[in-house]
Amino acid sequence: MPVAMSAEIRSHLTQLFTAALAKVAPQQPATIIDFERPKQATFGDYSCASAMQLTRLLKRAPQQIAHELIGAVPESEWVERMEVAGPGFINIYLRPEAKQHVVRTILRAGDAYGRNNRGMGNKVMIEFVSANPTGPLHVGHGRQAALGEAIAAILASQGWEVTREFYYNDAGQQIANLTASMRARALEARGEDAVFPEDGYHGEYIREIAAKYVAADGNPDDLEAVRKFAVAELRREQDEDLRAFGVVFDNYYLESSLYADGRVAAVVEALAATGTTYEHDGALWLKTTEFGDDKDRVMRKSDGAYTYFVPDVAYHVTKWERSFKRAVNVQGSDHHSTVTRVRAGLQALSIGIPPGYPDYVLHKMVTVMKGGEEVKISKRAGSYVTLRDLIDEVGRDAVRFFLVSRRADSEFAFDVDLAKSQSEDNPVYYVQYAHARICSVLEQWQAQYPDDARDLETADLAATDSQRELHLMQRLGDYPDVLETAAREYAPHQLAFYLRELAGEFHSYYNSDRILVPEAPTRRGRLALIVATRQVLRNGLGLLGVTAPEKM
């Protein structure tokens, strides 16, 4: 993950270097100004490479340009000194006051620290989970739920108007298989012989739902009634699992409604009118190769049934018509081929939808490990580990944090034993423990120093100038940039990684420096620092849907 920097410090340094650039190279846009954190602290707090980018324009050595820029930078109460290094890097060393400033900023902002309004006025739909109502949610759906909800929360923190939507695939062959499976189990429940479908669902949950249907005097031969009952039961169960996971959707959209409302047929007619379809072997094809696909795709098979991507195209037309100019789909990597086909269909319609619409976050599946061995099945689901199994085993917080702690497109092994352990190797425990540890110190403070003023915004931070304290402050200042980057890249793992690093900085500080020292100014300064740390931990955990416990 690229190292972030304090938004306030970035803004301040940008102003300084913009003023310098106006003197050294007034014809050059300020967009070339950027800063990064050197890997070694000996090279300063931040580094700027703009001088090397100006070499060709100014026809002078980058080291010379770097010295000219330094000479043109206005005086600053936050900058201690600047040096030229290597081929022309400008290394910037900050005064402690620049890093200490963030503590007051956090204490003033509280829950709002890290939030901004850059996305204000923009709508975005996050579609995630979107499971077929054919069985309990599995761990892969859990990863989708954790990713989708975190992306939605992070975007909302940056001012976006977010809608969370669940698209129910309640039509097609899989629902037909579900119905046939339910019918067979319902007949068995009545003591009658039944032939179980070859592609049926074998989980114990089918027997449970079938038993409920029979108990309610349902007729196994009324296939439409069987279908409606099964889908309703499984939707209810999936909703319960999602509530247990702390995920709530703003809207649910039924695939079946696309057929009932004539939207699928309308899209097919509209595509045919554009001249991008053709008949072959009794099937209707879409010329997806004209839009980047490796081969053309069948839209309507020879038996009259539509292929799965056709309703997906119709569904995304509704997103566009509902004024969602940005849409993000969180789906499993097995949907990779869907990306090209859906986008091709939308482009072929020629209705103004941009080529990259919608955005996709494709995640790889999750392997669940316990006792060093892979766990492959659930007693109830029969063929996979359910999300509810995992929640019941390790708790919601651990599942939420673990499932966003890696890049979505990376393989992930969920170690149940690690998630239950109380050690620094368990990332969610390590981060939550940092928050609880700070709460414990504050409790001790009230007991030991009852006469201290509790308003820490006025605390004197001059004495909080050790390297550990300054590193912790610098890390706190990175939080707004981390959120902004995570929102732009749909990458909640960056926030999880940041929280782990912040917790590490705090634990190191706590283990090396005494907080509740007798000297009141130092004590209050250190308390202000850890309260600011607690606030950032709480803010970040909240966006990931993880609690911030006060005791552990």
Residue range 90-116, pLDDT digits in tens: 999 999 999 999 999 999 999 999 999
Give the pLDDT score at 31: 78
- Cis link prior to 220 (omega < 30° from 0)? no
Q: Note down the domain range covering 526.
A: 424-543
Domain boundary among 60, 94, 128: 94
pLDDT-derived band at 3 (thresholds 50, 70, 90) equals very low
pLDDT tens, residue by residue, 233-254: 999 999 999 999 999 999 999 9
Mean pLDDT of 193-217: 93
> Using an 8 Å Cβ cutoff, are 96 and 470 in contact?
yes
> 509 and 482 in one domain?
yes
Do residues 400 and 380 share a domain?
A: yes
Q: Is the pLDDT of residue 485 over 60?
A: yes
Q: What integer pLDDT is reported at residue 387 of this predicted model?
A: 96
Which of 94, 127, 143 finishes a domain?
A: 94
400 three-state secondary structure: helix
Counting every residue written for the chain, the total comes to 552
Residue from 108, 474, 536 nearest 548 by CA: 536
Question: Are 388 and 436 in the same domain?
Answer: no
Number of domains in the chain: 4
Q: What is the pLDDT of residue 5?
A: 57
Distance set, CA 541 to CA 36, 218, 262, 431 (Å): 26, 46, 44, 9
> Stretch 10-23: mean pLDDT, rounded?
93
Could you tell me if 478 and 397 lie in one domain?
Answer: no
- What is the token pair recorded at 25? 């190279």
> Do 503 and 404 belong to one domain?
no
| H or E segment to which residue 281 belongs | none
* pLDDT on residue 1: 38
Q: What pLDDT sits at residue 37? A: 85
Averaged pLDDT score across all residues of the chain? 94
Share of the chain above pLDDT 90, in %: 89
pLDDT above 70 covers a percentage of the chain that reads 99
How far is CA 518 from each of CA 15, 229, 410, 466, 526, rounded to the nearest angstrom? 41, 69, 49, 18, 12
From 188, 212, 244, give the residue that closes a domain: 244
In a domain, 523, yes or no: yes
CA–CA separation, 33 and 45 (whole Å): 16
pTM above 0.85, yes or no: yes
Same domain, 475 and 448: yes
Confidence class for position 29, pLDDT limits 50, 70, 90: confident
Question: Is there a domain that residue 108 lies in?
Answer: no
In a domain, 492, yes or no: yes
**Do residues 401 and 500 both lie within one domain?**
no
